[in-house]
């Protein structure tokens, strides 16, 4: 019998069913004897699947107290391998399901109220059929079973993208029958809300951003924008890209990306974007990046603006690398060195070839002698390292060091000399946390003393 003829006969049977219902009769016997066989024949002949019938390799079904729903789902998914997650109560339907679908099925016993067991079972089955097109059907079963299956499916699609969630929907449900109106059933695929809403991606993007993993953050923000179609997320992606390049000391790229972001924020569509509330900070950072680029181009260490922003960048790197001491040390030492170079240049020292006057040299030697009482002969090197820069500024009575506690100076001396012995520089020593803290503290004080408002930290989202 063709599908068209079956549909006509089903229509007739449905009318009879409603007549009996109107007479106050229990509709179940007639449904079972006359309506269901036609519905079954129709689904075996031409299963109504939206958008189209496309057989799966594997299907997994929760079986509750509506075996009919599962039978239709099996016929609609058309899989070669069928798993039935059934309960103690629904075990009795297994024979009928296999007979009426004409398919052998693998029964797996679960508990009707154990959402976790369902989830675990599904995860195991997906692991067993990795790469196969799998349909997860949640038409039948208790709400606990459905929710376990749904949670598993929608989350595990991240790992098994070839898995799809399907169910038998209908165009009308009859509360008197407590069933769909016969003949209005069809199989559909459920979209993954995580994918449509991009919420998992957004969550990951924000987590990575908070943790300073800007490359990953930007990738997830772009993904969120793609999935949701919301352009606003792209701008967060741009921002994360800016900080990625900045953190990597790729200042030209950071500046270019920040300018793109600022231009995008100017567009009508984005006037209400939350980042526009931080526009002033972003513009200040843009100016900061320009100042750094000018410093790097002209290599003029007396450039206060450029030095302040570069030192702030290095100190932000120090903050970001906390918990990774060797890296944190690098940033802190370099920040301090840069600031000392700047101050010394301001006192007239030629950093490339320091030529102190005889009086300066004498004062410098005296300061060094005080710092290194156990050292023998004090020699002035060709180029000044951290310790010599510090001693030079102290000897010149620079205001930043005039009131520095001698004990602190003594401690700094050890910390400064440790730099070159570090494993990542030339030596075999690990940096000491106390040394690095001291160095960073002094760098922060000197930066503050410059009086430039330089905030190189990523703005919080």
Residues 327-366 that bind a copy of itself (CB under 8 A): 327, 330-331, 334, 337
For a copy of itself, the closer CB: 108 or 190: 190
Return the residues of window 248-267 that contact a copy of itself according to CB under 8 A: 248-250
CB of 2 to a copy of itself, least distance (A): 29
CB of 197 to a copy of itself, least distance (A): 6
Which DSSP category does 91 fall into? G
> Which helix (DSSP H) or strand (DSSP E) does residue 87 occupy?
none
The reply to whether 215 sits near a copy of itself by the rule CB under 8 A is yes
What SS3 class is residue 85?
strand
Return the residues of window 161-190 that contact a copy of itself according to CB under 8 A: 165, 167, 169, 173, 175-176, 178-179, 188, 190
CB of 8 to a copy of itself, least distance (A): 27
For residue 412, how many C-alpha atoms fall within 13 Å in the half-sphere facing its CB?
Answer: 26
For a copy of itself, the closer CB: 293 or 366: 293
For a copy of itself, the closer CB: 73 or 412: 73
For a copy of itself, the closer CB: 6 or 384: 384
For a copy of itself, the closer CB: 307 or 363: 307
Q: Which long-range contacts (CB under 8 A, 24 or more apart) does 312-321 make?
A: 312/288, 312/447, 312/454, 312/455, 312/456, 313/246, 313/249, 313/456, 314/338, 314/443, 315/440, 315/443, 315/444, 315/447, 315/456, 316/247, 316/456, 316/457, 316/458, 317/247, 318/440, 319/457, 320/212, 320/247
Residues 57, 199, 361, 457: which binds a copy of itself (CB under 8 A)?
199
Spell out, one character per residue from 95 to 124, where the chain touches a copy of itself: x when CB under 8 A holds, - when not.
Answer: -----------------xx-xx-xxx--x-
Return the residues of window 25-64 that contact a copy of itself according to CB under 8 A: 25-29
The reply to whether 296 sits near a copy of itself by the rule CB under 8 A is yes
For residue 158, how many C-alpha atoms fall within 13 Å in the half-sphere facing its CB?
Answer: 13
Residues 200, 240, 265, 440: which binds a copy of itself (CB under 8 A)?
200
Output the CA torsion sign for 152, 157, 162, 168: positive
Distance CA 215, CA 195 (A): 21
Return the residues of window 358-417 that contact a copy of itself according to CB under 8 A: none
CB of 78 to a copy of itself, least distance (A): 20
Rounded to 10 degrees, what is the CA torsion of 418, 421, 424, 426?
140
The reply to whether 216 sits near a copy of itself by the rule CB under 8 A is yes
The reply to whether 76 sits near a copy of itself by the rule CB under 8 A is no
The reply to whether 127 sits near a copy of itself by the rule CB under 8 A is no
Nearest to 60 by CA among 153, 131, 190: 153
């Amino acid at each position: 019998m063709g599908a068209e003829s079956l549909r006509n006969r089903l229509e007739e049977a449905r009318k009879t069913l409603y007549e009996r219902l109107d007479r106050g009769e229990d509709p179940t016997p007639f449904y079972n004897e006359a309506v269901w066989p036609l519905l079954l024949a129709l689904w075996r002949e031409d299963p109504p699947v939206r958008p189209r019938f496309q057989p799966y390799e594997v299907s997994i079904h929760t079986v509750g107290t509506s075996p009919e729903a599962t039978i239709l789902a099996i016929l609609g998914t058309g899989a070669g391998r069928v798993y039935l997650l059934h309960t103690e109560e629904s075990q009795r339907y297994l024979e009928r399901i296999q007979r009426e679908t004409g398919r052998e099925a693998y029964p797996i016993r679960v508990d009707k109220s154990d959402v976790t067991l369902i989830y675990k079972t599904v995860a195991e089955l997906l692991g067993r059929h990795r790469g196969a097109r799998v349909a997860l059907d949640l038409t039948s079963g208790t709400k606990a079973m459905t929710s376990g299956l749904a949670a598993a499916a929608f989350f595990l699609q991240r790992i098994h993208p070839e898995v799809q969630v399907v169910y038998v929907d209908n165009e009308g449900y009859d509360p008197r029958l407590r069933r769909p109106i016969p003949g209005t059933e069809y199989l559909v695929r459920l979209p993954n809300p995580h994918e449509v809403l991009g919420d998992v991606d957004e969550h990951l993007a924000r987590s990575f951003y908070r943790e300073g993993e800007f490359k990953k953050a930007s990738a997830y923000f772009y993904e969120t924008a793609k999935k949701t179609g919301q352009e606003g997320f792209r701008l967060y992606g741009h921002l994360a890209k800016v900080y990625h390049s900045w953190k990597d000391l790729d200042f030209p790229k950071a500046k270019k990306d920040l300018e793109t972001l600022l231009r995008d924020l100017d567009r009508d569509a984005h006037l209400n974007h939350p980042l526009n509330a931080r526009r002033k900070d972003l513009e200040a950072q843009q100016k900061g990046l320009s100042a750094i680029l000018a410093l790097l181009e002209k290599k003029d260490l007396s450039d206060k603006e450029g030095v302040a922003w570069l030192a702030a960048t290095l100190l932000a790197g120090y903050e970001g690398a906390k918990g990774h001491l060797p890296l944190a040390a690098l940033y802190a030492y370099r920040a301090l060195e840069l600031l000392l170079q700047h101050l010394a240049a301001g006192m007239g020292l030629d950093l490339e070839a320091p030529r102190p006057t005889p009086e300066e040299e004498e004062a410098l030697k005296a300061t060094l002698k005080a710092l290194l009482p156990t050292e023998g002969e004090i020699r002035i090197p060709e180029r000044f390292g951290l310790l010599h820069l510090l001693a030079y500024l102290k000897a010149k009575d620079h205001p930043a060091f005039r009131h520095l506690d001698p004990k602190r100076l003594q401690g700094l001396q050890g910390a400064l000399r440790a730099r070159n012995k570090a494993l990542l520089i030339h030596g075999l020593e690990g940096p000491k946390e106390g040394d690095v803290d001291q160095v960073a503290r002094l760098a922060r004080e000197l930066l503050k003393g410059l009086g430039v408002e330089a905030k190189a930290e990523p703005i919080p989202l």
